[in-house]
Structure 1
Amino acid sequence: MHVLVTGAGGHLGRILFDHLEARPEFKVSGLDIRPVDHPQIHQADFGADPVWADHFAGVDVIVHLAGDREPAASWESSIRNNMDATLALYHHAAEHGVSRVVLASSNWVHGDKRFTDDILNRQTPPGPVNAYGMSKLFCERTGEYFARYRGLSVICLRIGWTQWTHDNQPGPHMAMGLWGQQMWLSTRDFLNGMMAAITVPDIDFAAVNLMSDNRGMRWDITETKELIGYEPKDGGSPVNTLSIRIKSWWCKMVTFSAPRLFARVFPDW
């Protein structure tokens, strides 16, 4: 099986690329916007002319990790590097006979649910709160279109939180309080989820969560287990310190109470 990894020079992209390269049943190649010191990782800008599509010839599965990964990404960058780039990638993947695209989506698709009690699964209405989250929702919806009308299998993984620091171990050092800790994704489970999505047969379209099996989390990974055969090996136990509780209370007040108070004081604003 020939797997092409976009964003192969990034943190998660290189982890996956090296994991695939070490397994004899896979042929692996990669694309990245920056030069990478590896003969099978080629430079490509998905927001520019699609000369990069030539690398899709003979590819079975594309794992699409490239794009602007920052939650604070601007609309300009989110449109160019996430929306337009992914739409072009779907189109050229279908044209070249690629069987499947595994899309790195994001927990930010449900960003508005941070201070609710909703269980987050495929039936939960999306609610992105920033340009980045909106761009990932767009990539999911266009992926479903290509699955329905162009015969391209698309699996969207709403990835939790993998860290570049702390050896990617969970704990109160993580931002966003319990919400952040509960979406922790170990490196081993990231690879488990990706390998399941790459190899599972007979999936037209799916958009599922990819987190480790963390205590108390609201991200439902039952569907991920059932649909693609994901088997998490790790799980964290979030720590709710006094500092975390204070920060969460303040953030919740700013998010919900302050706008309502402003509307009452200035009803005609």
Structure 2
Amino acid sequence: MDMTANVFLAAIQMKVRRVVLASSNHVMGGLKEEGVNIHTAKPITSFSKPKPGTHLVYPLNSDSTPYAVAKLFGERLAYALSHSPLNIDTCFIALRIGWCMPKENQPKDSSPAGTVNPDTVGKIKSAVRGGKCTKTDPEQVTEWFQLMWLSNRDFLQICEKVITADFSGKFHIFNAMSRNTGMRWDLAYPQRILGYNPKDDVTKHPRPNGDGKIGIYQSLTISRERRLKSKL
């Protein structure tokens, strides 16, 4: 946090035109509990109230709240400094980066662990086969992460846009995901301000359970009515 504050203050002092903070989807991770896709919960926009921390039961019992709070601190500090009378020239931008895998970054390799570790991916593959869809099972959890996938070329595009696009304002938050059908993450704001035009869609790629089918897990296609009935 000290490093982030020092960089931000130095940027203002040196009259840097733009500062881009690599924030995270985990700032909004608590919203996963409301629903993992647009069929079960409302969109997550650049202006939605933060709810930091993604809670994961399987395959790793983990809680990203400390990491998420650190990212949220960076966002709020950027917002405060953008309104400071000492800041004349600097625009602060927070990119809430979606889900990216190392190297090729292919959806078929995705897992909530954020790696392509064979043991973790193997657990996911085994757990989703034929299992009943519930709010905490790996199928639903992995759907949350899959639907915020950010492909390599879309990642490069939005990074270029925040540097080169012509826009005004001292502070902006942008969701940084690919154009994934059914996701809750709303891209209208980066599209309007930056001209961001993502090219990829996770639902057009082989899914990560190893069956070779295109798309993500079945829970994406389950209607809202069917989901509600399953809870009765």
Matching residue of 2:43: 119
- Pairwise CA distance, 1:123: 2.5
User: Which residues in structure 2 correspond to 1:36-185 (within 5 Å)?
Assistant: 83-116=1-34, 117-129=41-53, 130-149=65-84, 150-151=87-88, 152-164=90-102, 167-171=104-108, 173-175=110-112, 176-185=141-150
CA spacing shift, 1:109–1:173, aligned 2, 3 Å: closer
Decide whether the 8 Å contact of 2:23 with 2:75 is kept in 1. Answer: yes
The residue that corresponds to 1:203 in the other structure is 169
What does 1:192-231 correspond to in 2, within 5 Å? 192-201=157-166, 202-231=168-197
Once the two structures are TM-superposed, the CA of residue 174 in structure 1 deviates from its matched residue by: 2.3
RMSD: 1.8
Structure scoring higher RCO (CA < 8 A, sep ≥ 6) equals 2
Give how far 1:218 is off: 0.2
% identical aligned pairs: 37
SS at match of 1:89: helix
Within 2, Cα distance between the matches of 1:173 and 1:194?
22
In 1, Cα distance between equivalents of 2:218 and 2:142: 9
Could you give the per-residue CA deviations for residues 127-182 of structure 1, whole angstroms, max 9, x where no partner exists? 112111111111111111222211320111100011115x2111374224100100
Q: Equivalent residue of 2:92, what SS?
A: strand
Q: Gaps (5+ residues) in structure 1?
A: 1-82, 243-269
| Residue 239 of structure 1 pairs with residue 216 of structure 2 | yes
Aligned pair count? 160
Listed as ranges, the gaps of 5+ residues in structure 2 are 35-40, 54-64, 113-140, 204-214, 220-232
Q: TM-score, normalised by structure 1?
A: 0.56
Query: Which 4+ stretches in 1 moved above 3 angstroms?
Result: none
In 2, Cα distance between the equivalents of 1:233 and 1:93?
32
